Structure 1
Amino acid sequence: MAAKPEGTPIWADAMFSDVEGAKAFYSEVLGWTFGEVASEYGNYTQAYVDGKAVAAVVPPMPGQEDVSQWCLYLASSDAAAAAQRIRENGGQVLMEPMRVGEFGSMCLASDPGGVVFGVWQPGTHEGFEAPMRQPGAFGWAEIFTREPQKSDTFFPAVFPYTAQQMEDGEMDFRVYNLDGDPALGRMRMTEEFPPEVPAYINVYFNVADCDQAVATATKLGAVARFGPVSSPFGRFATISDPQGATFSVIDTTTTEGEMPGLTDV
């Protein structure tokens, strides 16, 4: 597989105190199956759709038992060099670059506004295997922050993003592009977000039917935070799973309205 461009969303995982509960939930909502537990790597367990890797679940690290959240990893050919750029541009390295066997190297970091993300330097683990539009697979991700100017300065300095601003006076939304293709979104958090909700990256997974996915999720104890709502990009909704990890589902085949204009910035 060809190397993914620096800054490409390449992987996602989440920590759960109840890993078996998480596996049961996501298998019902997203159709995931799960591989063998990698006990030598903290009981890391990969999720699959049609035999292709889409994400992973893992028990929490000591002291983080109450934290369940999805983490998006961005591709890098050199995790140590990425960590250095993160520091030079005002971010924090939360976990120093480390080798994960033959699979690759990783670090965890945050931007100056507190947006947490990972960096993944592939070895034998090359990231997402399922096509982006396949139900159950990763589809998109957006940075949610109250300090968009910090993210807009930081991320294009660390990764080779160019940026476009959405021509919509109702929301402050920006797209970070790689080689002319959308890679990551950035949304300004409004007063609608409770103050206790920190800045974060929202991960989207594809589904065949957004309304059905939300119905299944809520039946299993999840909370619907937003939607379902149709948009030019697809019909989507945001959900907090029964352990509090927030993510979105999107059906890209059900669209409504015209695509908004974008202006280079």
Structure 2
Amino acid sequence: MPTRESAPLGAPCWIDLQSSDIDRAAEFYDALFGWTHEASAEEYGGYVMFHSGGKPVAGAMPGQPGNPYVNVWTTYLATADADATAEAVPKAGGQVMMEPMTVPQQGRMAMFLDASGGVVGAWQPAEHKGFGVIGETGTPAWFELVSKNYDAALPFYRDAFGWDLATLSDTDEFRYSTGKFGGEDLAGIFDASKALPDEVPSHWQVFVQVDDTDAAIARVRELGGAVLTQPWDTEYGRMAQVADPNGARFMISGPVAA
């Protein structure tokens, strides 16, 4: 299992979950993906770290009272300077939701609303470098902005996070671009303006790699989660959208069924 020492600047480097029932969530993800979890010291507010094969892959924290942003996975992009990123975001058409703050010893973080209305985090690493492994079974494998304003999202991520954008498809039926880092595609932006209901905003979604998509969604049901879309095959794998027992949504991706 290849390790990852750090993420390229601007690329997804971490995900975490705001959960209404963190114990139930931890039990679910451990059983589904073979993760192990470890609670942090009290100074970190009950933050839980998930590991796969001993490497960090995700985090979770208790939802705060009165905060409607709960049972949601957040994607964080790597930055060398969270304060500089916070200055760049409004200039690129976004908004600062949470000013940069220091997590003692671990790094510095901020939260933003991108120009298309999607929530995204930024992480400036110190001791915590982000993912220890990605793209392997049981680990995050892809990160995608599902955007209701694709034309605003593209320049935002280029200007605020330095993305090198590549057009994967630009037809009326399917518009999709990727962020390339060192020549490697590490994230995507999907034009969902015709797909999302009015009440659903732009949002980031994470894909977790599995060996067998159908077996994984059967396990989701056994563990009290929900299958939100039936699996479908693409040239990139067999995918399905699911939710944990508290309602947090994420994607599962595995090989195309034989």
The verdict on a shared fold, with TM-score over 0.5 as the criterion, is: yes
Deviation at 1:196, TM superposition (A): 1.6
Matching residue of 1:260: none
Aligned to 2:35: 32
The one of 139, 143, 156 equivalent to 2:158 is 156
Matched, 1:97 2:107: no
Structure 2 residue corresponding to 1:239, chosen from 238, 242, 249: 242
Matched, 1:201 2:187: no
What residue number does 1:53 align with?
56
Output the CA distance in 2 between the equivalents of 1:196 and 1:219: 30
SS in 2 for 1:226: coil
Distance 1:179 1:133, change over 3 A: closer
The answer to whether the Cα contact below 8 Å between 1:38 and 1:45 also exists between their aligned partners in 2 is no
> Residue in 1 aligned with 2:111?
108
How far the C-alpha of 1:226 sits from its partner, in A, is 2.4
Q: Does 1:212 align with 2:215?
A: yes
Deviations along 1:181-234, whole A, 9 cap, x unmatched? 112101111444322212100111111211111111123332222231222211
TM-score by length of 2: 0.92
* 1:238 CA drift (Å): 1.1
Q: Distance in 2 between matches of 1:89 and 1:192?
A: 25
Query: CA distance change for structure 1 residues 184 and 66 in 2, over 3 Å: closer, same or farther?
Result: closer
CA distance, structure 1, for counterparts of residue 94 and residue 71 of structure 2: 22
Structure-2 residue corresponding to 1:8: 11
1:21-47 CA distances to partner (integer Å, 9 max, x unpaired)? 101111121111101333211100100
Q: 1:220 to 1:65 in 2, by over 3 A?
A: farther
Please tell me the residue identity of whatever aligns with 1:167. S
User: Whole-Å Cα distance in 1 between the matches of residues 55 and 246 of structure 2?
Assistant: 25
State the identity as a percent. Answer: 33
Q: What is the total number of aligned residue pairs between the two structures?
A: 254
User: 2:167 aligned with 1:183, yes or no?
Assistant: no
Runs of 4+, deviation exceeding 6 Å = none
Q: Deviations over 1:121-154 (max 9, x none)?
A: 0000000002x22222110011011110110111
Across the aligned residues of Structure 1 and Structure 2, the Cα RMSD in angstroms comes to 1.8
For structure 1, the residue ranges without an aligned partner over 5 or more in a row are 257-265
Q: Provide closer, same or farther for how the CA distance between residues 180 and 255 of structure 1 changes in structure 2, counting only shifts above 3 A.
A: farther
Which residue matches 1:135?
137
Which stretch has the larger CA shift, 28-37 or 14-23?
A: 28-37
Distance in 2 (alpha carbons) for counterparts of 1:47 and 1:2: 17
Q: Whole-Å Cα distance in 1 between the matches of residues 130 and 33 of structure 2? A: 18
1:5 & 1:33 partners in 2: Cα distance? 26
Tell me the equivalent position of 1:226.
229
**2:18 and 2:69 in contact (8 A); partners too:** no
State the Cα deviation string for residues 85-111 of structure 1 (Å, max 9, x = none): 112112111111011011010001111
* Pair 238,31 (structure 1): closer, same or farther in 2 beyond 3 Å: same
Q: Which residue pairs with 1:165 in the alignment?
A: 167
TM-score, L = length of structure 1: 0.90
Which has the higher mean CA deviation after the structures are superposed, 176-185 or 187-196? 187-196
Q: Residue by residue, what CA displacement relative to the aligned partner does 1:13-71 show, whole Å, maximum 9, x if unpaired?
A: 01111111101111121111101333211100100111111101110123126721000
Q: Structure 1: how far apart are the matches of 2:69 and 2:6?
A: 36
Change (3 A) 1:42 1:33: same
Q: Give the gaps of 5 or more residues in structure 2.
A: none
Conservation of the 8 A alpha-carbon contact between 2:6 and 2:131: no
Aligned residues of 2:79 and 2:123 also touching (Cα < 8 A):
yes
Larger displacement relative to structure 2 (224-233 or 100-109): 224-233
